[in-house]
Amino acid sequence: MHDSGAKPRYFSVTDRIGRLPELDGLRGIAILLVLFRHTVRPIIEQHGSLLRVGSWDLATPLLNGWMGVDLFFVLSGFLITHHLLNRWPARFNRTFMLRYWIKRLLRTIPAYVAAVLIALSSVIPFFEVNAESTSHTLAIHLLFLQDYFGSDLVAAFWSLGVEEKFYLLCPLVLFYVSRLTPRRKLIALTVLALLPTLLRVATLAGSHAQYLNYPAFFWTIRSPFHLAMDGLWIGVICAVIYANKELRESIRVLNVRRIANISLAVLIVSISSVAWFDGGWYYASTIVLAVIALAFGGLLLSSILGQSWISEALRSVWLRAMSTISYSVYLMHLMFVPLALDLVRRFFPAFEAQAGLHFLAFTPVFLALSVAAGLALHFTVEKPFLILKDKIRL
């Protein structure tokens, strides 16, 4: 009887709900944005467009699904800071830091290492690694340097390089700004959040001839940690505001619903206007990256500070379920693009001739494979270590 009761709980995808369920909903949206970008991109590469309405293409908001990674960054910045501030010891000590870093390692490393080994093993049909040196590639990924040196395993792994560096840096920054007044603390963190945008603009302007194609822009401007951390610091700022009653009330005075509406409007316009990366809008993208991170921050704060239709929508059980497996799905999904394309080619060959039909056939196959792989990685590797992590108290 005991075992039969334990199994459904272990294999549940809605039992790890945080005290701020809206954040689970936002994480579910983030992984869906990323999935739909990589759903439409192979179709665009083959057909050039999905469905044109004048000069606008239906693929545009889907191609801009890369914004889901920036939402992940904002959420990470918020959650790490929120948990640190709630557990910050009266006297900062090495034991606290050690436990924090151990919990971070247990949260991210096991599933990531498993995904790296799966990618290198070539066990997934039609997925090939283009690495010249396996040992060199493995070293870069185990040291989380792929945001600077590029990932020849799975392109999506770049963001893990950014996140791991932030996990190391965040508590140290919080320690140094902890002595400041709340408003001065916000000023210091705002400078940190603005710095990546200034550096992106300077880097692009300084040697623009190199960045006339997407891969060069991505690996030189988009992925390096020091150029990609604005969303993380915006998340930190949101957590600092949420932790301070005076700052929280100042946000409420500004009107939570208005902040939510403005943030949502900015995000809708940004995601649907042009395909920023894929359309070659590289200079504008350096600014758009900061704008969308700020809008995601506004959406996050407004959703947890006030009851609105957005807050209710984010409590959806489906979004919460996707949130639970989002990390594992993110790690695995790109490995299944070639297999999904081949399955469509074999079983729906007529659909390949037309972009819309090709997209309709490819999407459910790719999503099903991605979610299945994410579930497998989550329950076999990620979840056991999450259970172990939860036993460690900061």
pTM for this prediction: 0.94
Low-confidence residues in the chain, pLDDT < 50: 1-6
**Do 257 and 306 meet the contact criterion of CB atoms below 8 Å apart?**
yes
Other CB atoms within 10 Å distance of the CB of residue 288: 21
**Percentages (nearest 5) of helix, strand, coil residues in the chain:** 80, 0, 20
Which amino acid, 92?
A: F
User: What pLDDT was estimated at residue 15?
Assistant: 67
Which amino acid, 323?
A: S
Please list, in sequence order, all residues whose beta carbon lies within 8 angstroms of the beta carbon of residue 118, skipping any fewer than 6 positions away. 124, 332, 335
Nearest to 119 by CA among 327, 326, 325, 333: 333
How far apart are alpha carbons 351 and 365 in whole angstroms? 13
Other CB atoms within 10 Å distance of the CB of residue 133: 10
How far apart are alpha carbons 330 and 289 in whole angstroms? 20
Query: What token pair was written down for 29?
Result: 């949206």
User: What pLDDT was estimated at residue 307?
Assistant: 67
Give the dihedral sign, CA 244/246/252/254: negative
How far apart are alpha carbons 231 and 290 in whole angstroms? 7
Which amino acid, 44?
A: I
